[in-house]
Amino acid sequence: MRAKTAVVVGAQWGDEGKGKIVDVLSERFSAVARYGGGHNAGHTVVIGGQKFVLQIIPCGVPRPQCKCIVGNGVVLDPIYLLDELARLRGMGVSIDGRLYLSNRAQVILPYHRMIELAAESAPGRQKIGTTSKGIGPAYQDKMSRGGLRVVDLLNPSLLKTHIEAACQEKNAIAYALFGAAPLDSAKMYEEYAAAADQIRPFAADTGRLLNSILASGGSVLFEGAQGTMLDIDHGTYPFVTSSSATAGGAVTGSGIGPTAIGMVIGVTKAYVTRVGEGPFPTEIHDPSGDALRARGHEYGAVTGRPRRCGWLDIPLLRYSNRVNGTEWLVVTKLDVLDELDEIPVCTGYEINGKVTDEIPADVQGFESAKPRYTKLKGWRQSTEGINEFDRLPQAARDYLRFQERESGARIGMVSTGPDRGQIIHLPEFAQALNSIHAVS
């Protein structure tokens, strides 16, 4: 029997609309668990015109029956978390008794932001295009075994000792390398000790909790952050994030075993976007790219940065499906393409004179890749709000079936607008979900 779990991952460079999809699917699950990243991720959920922008808290939070779990793979800034909690409470969302923070999650402290901002701004350094929120340096401390975890944050004497020692080290490094002004360790301790008292009720052994939910017959939806091509191992390195953004991260970032993964759902736009630096073979450098950005409202939910826009990339999507083990695809923002007469789709590359349908491992190969396009017919009519596949224009259905056939994963849902109700559920996908969800 299949495990009662599903993992939702971004199939591109993030910003695919995972927040909406997790919100839609969460109705079927006992809990939603976030397993990686930090508050650099921005997931937007629109319900009846009301917008929720979530950065740390899982997108199941608008569902009152859902437990919301922040796993050990997340890096957590307590101050940002408390701000997010205050915003949600102000919108009438119930939190208490539903939110659980892993006591093993790593804590982001101000010196992480100081180091990242200084490094990203330093002359002569390769710019990655980070959000400068301290995510990378926090993961760096984690892997070098010098980080602070939530369980340590809750221990006042350990917290004080850690902050004093870390500030002495980080201030010296930041000044020597970047000329940055030092941080006040005493002030930092007071602020984070106060935050710890407010966070204490939410701290838990979330790995044990997740396994208990599954053992008792419940179901869990795992929420990824960023996208596959930003994964630290499988993405366009070094223009990646610092965590495991693929489906495998759901295991290491939550405390469940690999046999507990029941289904992998990849979320892809009907085109492609990217924020920040790094290679992007199908990026559009003419007015049609600006038109996609305008129609798709392609600006970062957290940073407000304009997203780079490009045509759908089949080799990239096929690769993503492979490394994630994706069975089902959710295609978002189909309606953004409504006005096009013709839609190019990349089906392969030419790299140094050779034709290939595989993405290269190296950045230089990616940067030199010339996309080879197949042009599909546009539909030139509105698909916004359509919630039945057979009501889509024939050319739109052909576009989706081409994407399905070429990528190797079946399409289970299609999003035709930002609101929760603007979505198409294909019956085969609904049947597959019914085989695993069984909320207890």
Beta-sheet strands, E only, within 92-189? 99-102, 106-107
Contact 108, 134 (CB under 8 A): yes
Distance between CA 232 and CA 225 in Å, rounded? 12
The closest alpha carbon to 76, from 30, 142, 160, belongs to: 142
d(CA 408, CA 426): 17
**Residue 353 contacts residue 419 (beta carbons within 8 Å):** no
Residues contacting 386, CB < 8 A, separation 6+ = 392, 416, 424
β 43-47/75-76 pair status? unpaired
Partners of 375 in beta bridges: 344
Residue 208: CB atoms within 10 A of its CB come to 10
The answer for residues whose C-beta is within 8 angstroms of residue 257's C-beta and 6 or more apart is: 251
How far apart, in Å, are the Cα atoms of 392 and each of 86, 345, 367, 413?
41, 19, 36, 13
User: Can you say whether the dihedral through the CA atoms of 196, 202, 205, 207 is positive or negative?
Assistant: negative
Q: Are strands 370-377 and 342-351 parallel, antiparallel or unpaired?
A: antiparallel
Q: How far apart are CA 243 and CA 277, in angstroms?
A: 17
Q: Which residues are catalytic?
A: 15, 43
Residues 406, 397 contacting (CB under 8 angstroms)? no
Residue 212: Cβ within 10 Å count: 11
